[in-house]
Chains A and B, each alone.
Chain A
Amino acid sequence: MLTAEKIPPRGHDKNAPQPAWIEHLRGRYTTEREVDAILTRRLGRRAGPGYAPQSLATLRAGVEALLRDELDEPFTVLDTRWLTGGASKVQMAFTLDWVEPGVGRTRTPMVLRMEPAESIVETSRLREFQLIRAMRGVVPVPPAYWVDADGSHLPYPALIYGFVPGATKPSTATSGVSGLGINFGPALRGPLASQFVEHLAAVHTFDFSGAQLSAFDVPQVGTQSVEWGLNWWARVWEEDCGEEVPLMNLAAHWMRQNMPPADRICVIHGDYRAGNYLFTEADARITALLDWELGRLGDRHQDLAYLATPVFGHLAEDGVTFLASGLLPPDELYEAYEKASGLTVDPRRLHFYKIYNAFFLAALTLGTGYRIARGGKTHQDVLVAWLIGIGSLLLDEIRVLLEKGF
């Protein structure tokens, strides 16, 4: 993202990317190997067909094909039905009648989580699967059972995990699409906020050294993780944007010149906010942290800045106080986090990662959202196109933060 050669020649078609351009991008933006593989696969398929609507019968057949490879005992897939999976993934709930190791024959409610032809968040199912498994016992997550990492059995790559009871918002709450601006109400905020913080602290203090995370590259302490992240999203922006935004160029340069070294490398959820966890309303208990697809190893301040992203929160009843992720003012969340984790919260790194997060969200909404909605690549094109509207708010957040400085 550093020279004029970024301008594709006239006539260059991002919807039918040429191999030489793909290789150019791969060389230009060094990032984790699995991230590179997924983005490269995406571009290789871009000129291909859009998302073809899948029937429950097709997905059921795909699940059965996957399980025939995984299970020795007879099984039955029952009660298939659609779940709303947000803008990103196709989700089908079902019940599996099977012989669970150590349990015997039983019926287990499960969820199939499958990619569309291209997702607004193009990520690795293998990484998501590994991270959910690694987090089992650390924080509430669904049991992750199987993964079809390259779509060998299902129409597109997918994973299967356990169905967890709960909801993303109170039964009477209003919110925007994709869980934006969920208002939990005063009674739920306190109990949810304390768990929200404690779970994040547990994620960040988890010792991942013994975990099976082969799809992740482990960055060195310092700036390697932030550089990989910057390259990831700068590449996505360049691959997808339909028109340049000089402010994005400016932000990218500022970030490269101000990359903060991480003092420790943690598991990062990457999308830690309201709407991405389930809770049971009766006891205000968080039952599962979901949507780990953006997870990586990096600086905790990425998550800490993210949870206070303006579009994920709202103003309290007083019309003045901003509630990060619809829970508490950011400073109160950070104070609680420091107590729960024993880790410090560095305002300078928070500032940096606010810009980083707004940059990657702008790349997703304005870049990928535009590209895949026009290409008919998802099951939710109309929702993806709707989310493009957030882009200008994210860009304005970048502008304000750059003007403010550290």
Chain B
Amino acid sequence: MMVRPDTQLRTIIRAMTEVVLPAVDPANQMAQEQARVVVGTLLLMAERLPLQFQFDRDELQRLTDFAEQLAGVASGGPRTSDLIIRLAADARAGRDVLERAKADPAELVDTVRQLRAVAGAVVDTVFADDAAASCRDAVWHAVLTMSRDQLLRERAWVLPQGFEQDPSSLPSLDSLLGTAAATG
């Protein structure tokens, strides 16, 4: 998918700084100030967005360590004991999430792109190398089936842009991604 926030933010910042800001009424101080804060916020987002996942994962790692340490040293009455049991359980849940959150989002996107590239090359070779008709048919149907499912998600992703003639014909993005998660 090529519509990604990093590209969008980059272009929005450029439009704001090169086109919109110079056209904001210099006498309207509130508009001037807010426009500059918008740009500053967008710059911050553009710089930090790629690190958001690592930051959250790092925070979970530290909090899990801290929770385990706290559960080990804290003691007190029944109310404290109950909370320590709950804290220890949450720390175990944190470890489980950390275990399942090892790959960085950038690695995931890179892997998607590599799979796309090699899959595309396989399609090329199958049709260029005079493969058996049955093989071509199978590849043909596999590509079309995968594309139908993938494009439903991509269209649902950009639905708010208003390009769809019949928006009601598209399943919601939530349901599509939920289905994907449920079916693996």
Chain A interface residues toward B at CB < 8 A: 1-4, 6-7, 53, 176, 180, 242-250, 253, 257, 310-311, 314-315, 322, 366, 369-370, 373-374, 376, 381-382, 384-386, 388-393, 395-396, 399, 402-403
Contact = CB atoms under 8 A, between A and B. Distances in A.
A348 B14 CA distance: 45
Contact of A4 (B14, B125, B139, B157): B125
Given A244-B119, A366-B2, A392 B155 contact: yes
Contacts of B118: 7
Contacts, number: 131
Contacts of B15: 381-382
Given A3-B125, A248-B120, A385-B7, 12 more contacts: A2-B124, A2-B127, A7-B120, A53-B18, A243-B2, A243-B112, A244-B113, A246-B120, A249-B120, A249-B121, A381-B10, A396-B148
Nearest to B3: A388
B85 interface: no
Contacts of B11: 373, 381-382, 384-385
Given A180-B163, A314-B165, A381-B14, A391 B2 contact: yes
Contacts of A245: 116, 120
Interface residues of B, number: 44
A2 B128 contact: yes
B28 interface: no
Contact of B124 (A253, A322, A376, A382): A253
B12 interface: yes
Closest 9 CB pairs of A and B: A392-B154, A389-B158, A244-B120, A382-B15, A4-B121, A381-B11, A2-B128, A253-B127, A382-B11
B155 A393 contact: yes
**B118, B120, B125: most-surrounded residue (chain A CB, <10 A):** B120
Interface in B95-153: 112-113, 116-125, 127-128, 139-140, 143-144, 146-148, 151
B115 to A, nearest CB: 9
Contacts of B154: 391-392, 395
B163 A246 contact: no
